[in-house]
Amino acid sequence: MSSGQVTQTETRPGVDGAASARAGEARRGLLFDLASLDLSKDRFDREAIGRRNPHRGDMALLDAVLWTSDDFKRGVGVWRVKGTEFWVPGHFPGKPMLPGVLQVEAGAQMSVFLYNARFVRPKLAAFTHIEECSFRGQVQPGDHLLILADEIKASDKRFNSRIQGVVNGRVTFEATITGIALGEAQMDA
């Protein structure tokens, strides 16, 4: 996938090409400049993500990975939030909002995808720390939640990443997470 600019005429939700959104990225503290990346198509679909991540069923939250750095230390995924997901009827009736804990889980899954991209056999990672977590905006059905992950450090057994959620150029959550590898992941159906 070539890297290029998102054009100002881009209309894909979550990939708002408006100049004002791009100009404000530094003020809002995005982990990296989204305007410099080509986020126009899926680089890895659900099936490809499933070859690296052990999450299945309702807990496989990422719809696609749109971009990764060549070394898989940074990446952008997307969760195209639908009105049919398990949490919609109960969180909250009449005004569904994606639970913050699921936003963080999506960030964790993006981090696991990047971590596992380095191994022949994917590892099962459990999270030991979630730090500096804050929620700054709502995510609702119809939104495309971009998930940014930026590795701080990694080894064969552990990794730390900064994660962030973004909808239409606005940060919805951010956190720092630590994961530890528990062994090889069981990747059966």
Give the pLDDT band (50/70/90) at residue 188: low
Residue 99 and residue 58 in contact, taking contact as beta carbons nearer than 8 Å: no
Predicted local confidence at residue 146, as pLDDT: 98
pTM of the full structure = 0.83
Classify 66 as helix, strand or coil: strand
Enumerate the β-bridge partners of residue 163: 149, 175
φ/ψ region of 162 (left if φ > 0, alpha if ψ in -120 to 50, else beta) reads beta
CATH 3.10.129.10 fits 43-184, yes or no: yes
Residue-level pLDDT at 183: 86
Cα distances from 17 to residues 7, 115, 126, in angstroms, run 6, 29, 36
74-103 pLDDT, tens per residue?
999 999 999 999 999 999 999 999 999 999
pLDDT confidence bin for 28, thresholds 50/70/90: low
- Sheet of 144-154, strands arranged across: 44-45, 64-68, 74-80, 144-154, 158-167, 170-184, 123-135
Is residue 37 over pLDDT 80? yes
Helix spans in the chain (H)? 19-23, 25-28, 46-50, 100-116
Which three-class secondary structure state does DSSP give residue 46? helix
Q: With 0-12 CB in 10 A as exposed, 13-18 as middle and 19+ as buried, what is 176? A: middle
Q: Identify which of 76, 78, 107 has the alpha carbon closest to the alpha carbon of residue 12.
A: 78
pLDDT band at 186 (very low <50, low <70, confident <90, very high): confident
91 has catalytic annotation: yes
Residue extents of the structural domains in the chain = 43-184
- Whether the Cβ atoms of residue 14 and residue 167 lie closer than 8 Å to each other: yes
Residue from 55, 91, 129, 144 carrying the catalytic annotation: 91
Q: What letter represents residue 128's amino acid?
A: T
